[in-house]
Amino acid sequence: MKNLHKWLIIAVLVGLILLSANYIVPDIETPVHLEDEDYFRGKVINLRETETSNGYFQEAEVEITSGPYREDIIEIENEFEEGNRFLDIRLEEDLNIILVSYEQGNEREIYLQDIARDRSLGGAIILLIIALLIVGKFKGLETLISLIISGYIIIQIMIPLMIAGYPPIPIATFSALLIISIILIIIGGLNFKTLAASIGTGVGVIIAGVIAYLIGSHAQLSGLATQEAQMLAAGMDGIDFRGLLFAGIIISSLGATTDVGMSIASSASQIKKANPKMSFTQLFSQSLEVGRDIMGTMSNTLILAYAGGSIPFLMLLLVNHMSWLRIINMNYVSTEILSGISGTLGLVISIPITAFTASLLLSKE
């Protein structure tokens, strides 16, 4: 019966999310329209290759395997330079590729766009689903559902609202709190443990965003440190890029903070079950001790995640023997450091809040 209540509430929440996506979220009006471009799959069936001074010139017969030109055979040309082997594409027979069609005058020209990678990614997704279901069984199914809901909220609600011009920080905060509530209800059920984890996680995520906003404003971070943000700024007006930076910090700190909140709340619940007569002070002390153990690993998780994504950039800086004074003050580096520090601070602050809330609620229970 308890699980039935949980899934009924989840169904209502999901229904509200779908309604909001259909009726509240505005349609995205893109500044650049690409109606003249069509993308479809193809397969190399025959290849002629001529060696050049710095690579190869390739002429390939390609069978189109999707779209309106399916089963048509076309010829495309491709140049491959040895010095750009990680950027250029060297065609091979039976290679699946992505083609793009442009309208030029009264004719449509078809060119090579990229290697087809979607089926490889689809295989990885299927492998993840199988692993979740085999190892986690029903809990694995719950995890899969929470992943789908989180992705839907971010892609179908949060990002369209930001593109429409709504302030990024409130939108990201609302989305984060919504994701927290749904994930923790799915994983933990409807109980004081879930409530305590939700409160601790929500406060930690909000504090991470507030700290990032205050320090980022003082450091005059522009939010345009990445190439993607600069490309977006060139094509769209009215976007608050500094707000997008802080919104990204809120969302990126969500996973680790949620993990910490649920771990502490679950530990407090198990401790209370083992000793129902335990006082609030004792329960808080032991829950906080569990949080301290978790803090070390999860703080490293956040910092290493940011560092891992910046390894090529850091190598470039060190190879060129740049001054640390210059490095530490670069917009991109300062942004990454602030992201790691803010997320970790939010995680650390959520530990005593979750421990206190869980101890208080479970003691009253």
Packing angle of the helix pair 331-364, 280-309 (nearest 10 deg): 160
Domain ranges for the chain = 37-116, 138-364
User: pLDDT digits over 213-226, tens only?
Assistant: 888 888 888 777 77
pLDDT average, residue stretch 57-70:
87
Beta bridge partners of 58: 49, 78
For residue 53, the Cα-to-chain-centroid distance in whole angstroms is 43
State residue 252's pLDDT score: 81
User: pLDDT digits over 9-55, tens only?
Assistant: 667 666 666 666 665 555 555 444 445 678 889 999 998 888 887 78
CATH, range 37-116:
2.40.50
> Could you tell me the strand order of the sheet in which 73-81 lies?
73-81, 55-64, 37-51, 96-104, 107-115
Q: Decide: 17 and 178 in contact? Cβ < 8 Å.
A: yes
CATH architecture of residue range(s) 138-364 = Up-down Bundle (1.20)
H/E segment holding residue 114: strand 107-115
User: pLDDT digits over 319-344, tens only?
Assistant: 887 777 887 888 888 888 888 888 88
State residue 43's pLDDT score: 92
* pLDDT: which is higher, 4 or 198: 198
Beta bridge partners of 114: 98
Q: How many CA atoms lie within 13 Å of 112's alpha carbon, on the beta-carbon side?
A: 24
State residue 140's pLDDT score: 84
Total length of the chain: 365
Strand, helix or coil for residue 276: coil
User: pLDDT digits over 84-140, tens only?
Assistant: 555 578 888 889 989 888 777 677 788 888 888 888 888 999 999 999 889 888 888
H-state helical runs in 33-166: 118-136, 138-152, 159-163
- The DSSP result for 145-172, as a single string, is HHHHHHHHIIIIIIHHHHHTT--HHHHH
- Map tokens 């809040």 to a residue: 353
State residue 29's pLDDT score: 53
User: How far is residue 92's CA from residue 148's CA, in Å, rounded to a whole number?
Assistant: 36
CB-neighbour burial class of residue 25 (10 A; exposed 0-12, middle 13-18, buried 19+): middle
Angstrom CA distances, 346 to 37, 208, 245, 257, 267, stand at 44, 4, 16, 7, 20
User: pLDDT digits over 187-242, tens only?
Assistant: 877 788 888 888 988 888 888 888 888 888 888 887 777 777 777 777 677 778 88
- 85-89, 290-294, 311-315: least confident range: 85-89
User: How far is residue 332's CA from residue 277's CA, in Å, rounded to a whole number?
Assistant: 53
